[in-house]
Amino acid sequence: MQHKSKRSRAIAMPQSEFRTRASEYLDFLGAWLKKPRQTASVVPSSRYLARLMVSHIDPSDGRVLELGGGTGVFTRAILETGLPAEKLEVVEINPAFARGLRRHFPHVAVLETPAQIVSAAAAGEPGEYQTVISGLPLLAMDRAMHVDILTEAFRMMHPGGAFIQFTYSMRPPVSRDILDFLNLNVVRVGQTVRNFPPATVFRFSRRGE
């Protein structure tokens, strides 16, 4: 009987995961139909991309800020690193996505505030964050927005902090002149074709750190 019970649980888990993923796809499709430039993709990011995005997080280090939480694919991966939920804050301005994040991650603070002024709503003080994980569609934003978002992100991070961004291009989504203006470096973390579309992850950091 015990063996049968374990087998039943093993069968039930994929069905539960399938329902979760199906719900995420429908939510993302609906958001894309309403605001395609804001959502940028018709499907949520894959778990393979999520693993690349969070690969350097140290759960014993400072706080983490996620920009553009969406359906929670990156949020889930961040928590799976062992980072305590109270050290994570997720920014999401889409009200439907924000409600879903609060439902699925009740111990994580969800901030419905623009990324470029997140310090006004964040629980932590500037300098207390180890990294910013960004799911924002930077390629759909203008140069002024890039400057504002990166300036605010690095204001929140301690020395050595990193801004992690993915893009569907092979090139960084921020121009070289903006990086020079903000005194930032960018390196390619990796790429995954097990995402639709295939995605590349970049790490931005302050020069000299």
pLDDT, position 129: 98
Q: Could you count the other beta carbons within 10 Å of the beta carbon of residue 147?
A: 15
Instruction: Please check the confidence at residue 24 and state whether its pLDDT lies above 80.
Output: no
Is pLDDT at 90 greater than 70 in this prediction? yes
Query: Is the model's pLDDT at 99 over the cut of 70?
Result: yes
Rounded mean pLDDT of the chain?
A: 85
pLDDT-derived band at 78, boundaries 50, 70, 90: very high
CB–CB of 66/75 below 8 Å? yes
pLDDT-derived band at 11 (thresholds 50, 70, 90) equals very low
What's the pTM?
Answer: 0.81
pLDDT in tens, 25-75: 455 445 444 554 444 444 567 889 999 999 999 999 999 999 999 989 999
pLDDT per residue as tens digits for the range 122-170: 999 999 999 999 999 999 899 999 999 999 999 999 999 999 999 998 9
User: Tell me, what's the pLDDT at 156?
Assistant: 97
* Residue 170, burial from CB neighbour count under 10 angstroms (0-12, 13-18, 19+): exposed
Q: Which CATH architecture has domain 2-206?
A: 3-Layer(aba) Sandwich (3.40)
Query: Would you state the pLDDT for residue 16?
Result: 53
pLDDT of residue 1: 45
pLDDT average, residue stretch 114-121: 96
Tell whether the model's pLDDT for residue 112 goes beyond 50.
yes
